Homo-oligomer: A and B are copies of this chain.
Amino acid sequence: MSDTENKTGRARGEEWWRTGIIEMRPGVIRLRGYEIQDLIGRVSFPAMIWLMLRGELPSEEQAALLGVALGAAVDHGPQAPSIAIARMAITCGVGINSAMASAVNVLGDVHGGAGEQALSVYGDIAAELDAGVPLAEAVSARLDRFLVGENGYVPGLGHRFHPVDPRAPRLIELTRDFAARGVVSGRFADIAEMVEAEVARRKGKKIPLNIDGATAVIYGELGFPPPLTRGLFVLSRSVGILAHAWEQSQESDRNKGPLPREWLWAYTGTPVRPLPEDDDGSQ
C-alpha cells in the first residue's frame, strides 16, 4: 500500500476512490473491463447483476438460475414491514425513490437476514464435506453447535404463516434440474435437505424448508458468499417494494397510517396529571 501512501494531490484523491468495477473516460464506460455498449443487448439483466457483483460473466444458465432466485422473493404482502413502510411513505409527499429507501432500510437481520444465516450454516457444512466428513455427520455436528445456543431455531426452515412455503419445493426442484444439466453441483440442495431431515428427526415433526433456505441453496450453488446474499435479497424485495409504492401512489390517501383513519391506538401510560408544583426546566 506504500504506493497509495506516496501519492499526493489529485492522484491521492482519485486513489481514495479507487475501484475495480467501472472505468470511465469521456465517451467510454467499461464495467469489469467490458465496454458497456458491448454488454447492452448481449447479456441479460441477471447476467449484468452477476458481472457487477462477481467480476466475471456467468454462463447463460447460471444467469437464469440467479434470475429464478431473485424473482422468487419479490413480495410477501403488506403485513411485511418493508411493504407497509413503502406504501405509507409514498403518501407522505416524498419521491418514489425515498419510499423505496425507507422500506429497503428495514431489511435488517430480522426482516432480511435469514437467507444469509441459512447460507452460512450450509457453507459450514460444505466446508466439512470438503474435508471428507460424510454429509449426515457434518449436518448433525453443525446442528449440535447451532441448537445449543440458538433455542433450536435453524434459519431456512419453517414459516410463521405457511405450513409449507409454496416457493421452496419449486426452487429445489429447479435446482435439481440445473444440477442434472451440470450447471451446478446440487450439493447445497443435498445439504439443505439433510438439514431439514435431521431437524425433523430431532423434533419429531417436519419443519419444511422456506424461501430463505431455498434461495440460500441457489445462491450457495452459484457461489455467492453469505453477506452478499443479503444484498441480493434487497434487489429482489425492491421489486415488491416498488410495486406496492406505485400501486399506493395511484390512490388518494395522504399521510397513511397503519390503522384505518377513524381508529386511534390504545394508551397504556400514566393517567392525566398536572405539572408538578415546582417549576421543572422552565424557560
Contact = CB atoms under 8 A, between A and B. Distances in A.
A266 to B, nearest CB: 4
A34 B273 CA distance: 6
Contacts of A84: 17, 88, 257-258
Contacts of A258: 17, 78-79, 81, 84, 88, 258-259
A131 interface: no
A136 interface: no
A132 interface: no
14 contacts: A8-B10, A10-B263, A14-B259, A14-B264, A14-B266, A19-B269, A26-B161, A44-B64, A48-B74, A52-B74, A58-B280, A80-B255, A94-B105, A258-B259
B97 A105 contact: yes
Interface string A82-101: 10110111011111111111
A231 interface: yes
Nearest to A273: B33
B97 A247 contact: no
Interface string A60-75: 1011111110111011
Contact of A167 (B37, B108, B276): B37
Contact of A166 (B36, B64, B68): B36
A6 interface: no
A102 B100 contact: no
A194 interface: no
Interface in A1-33: 8-33
Contacts of A245: 231
Given A20-B268, A23-B272, A44-B46, 8 more contacts: A24-B161, A34-B273, A37-B167, A41-B68, A43-B71, A44-B44, A45-B67, A93-B109
Contacts of A28: 166
Interface residues of A, number: 152
A240 interface: yes
Interface stretch (A110-118, A139-147, A195-203): A110-118
Nearest to A53: B243
A151 interface: no
A49 B75 CA distance: 11
Interface in A142-161: 161
B105 A59 contact: no
A175 to B, nearest CB: 10
B100 A104 contact: yes
A32 to B, nearest CB: 6
